[in-house]
Amino acid sequence: GGPPVAPFVTLPLKAWDEGYHMIVRSVVIACQILVPNMAARGWGRVVMLTSSTVLNPLFNFAISNALRKSLLGVAQSIAQEYASQGVSANLVCQGLTKTKRLQSLIQTAMTNSGDDEATVLKRMVAPLATRRLAEPQEIAALVAFLCSEQASFIQGQALLIDGGQALSH
C-alpha cells in the first residue's frame, strides 16, 4: 500500500499522520526491536523495501516523496551505529513493479483518464529504459544479495531498481 496520491495542498494532515505511521513509524518500531538482537549476534541485515520516490520524486506523491526519504535517515543511522557489530541497513527503492499497489494505481489512472488498462500501462512504462514493469523476483534478487555476506560493506544506501527511469543519481 501507500499514502494517497493527490496534489500537495489537498492532502489533509490526517493523511500525513497516517502516512507517517504506515511508512516510518512501523519501520522504526521493527528496527528498535530487531537491530539490537542482530548486533548482539554480531550479524544482521536490515533491508527496507520502499519506493523509487526516495530518489526520484513523483508528481502528486507528496506524502510518499517526503516520508520515504526519512527511511534513508533511519538506515544511515543504523549503519553508523551498528556496522561495526556486523549489521547493515539499506533501502531498496523500487520503481514500477507488478504489485497490488501498482494495480490500484492503474485502476485510479483508468478512472481519472477514461483510458483502458493497456493505454495506462503504455503511458506508465514509457519513461522506463526497459519499457516494462519489474517482476517481483527481480526485486527479491537484490534483497537476497543485500542479505548476503558479500554485501557486508554496503551500508546506509538507497539502491534504485527502477528499470532506468532515473538514469543517474
Q: d(Cα 130, Cα 133) in Å, to the nearest integer?
A: 8
Greatest alpha-carbon span in the chain: 55
Q: d(Cα 84, Cα 66) in Å, to the nearest integer?
A: 30
The answer for residues whose C-beta is within 8 angstroms of residue 1's C-beta and 6 or more apart is: 22, 101
Q: How far is CA 120 from the centre of its chain?
A: 22
Instruction: Specify the pLDDT at position 167.
Output: 67
DSSP string, 39-80: HHHT-EEEEEEEEGGGTS--TTBHHHHHHHHHHHHHHHHHHH
Q: For the segment 68-97, what is each residue's pLDDT rounded down to a tens digit? A: 999 999 999 999 999 999 999 999 999 999
Q: d(Cα 79, Cα 108) in Å, to the nearest integer?
A: 38
Query: What pLDDT tens digit does each residue of the chain (169 aa) get?
Result: 689 999 999 999 999 999 999 999 999 999 999 999 999 999 999 999 999 999 989 899 999 999 999 999 999 999 999 999 999 999 999 999 999 888 988 998 999 999 999 999 999 999 999 999 999 999 999 999 999 999 999 999 999 999 998 865 5
Instruction: Specify the pLDDT at position 169.
Output: 54
Q: For the segment 3-16, what is each residue's pLDDT rounded down to a tens digit? A: 999 999 999 999 99
Predicted structure pTM score: 0.89
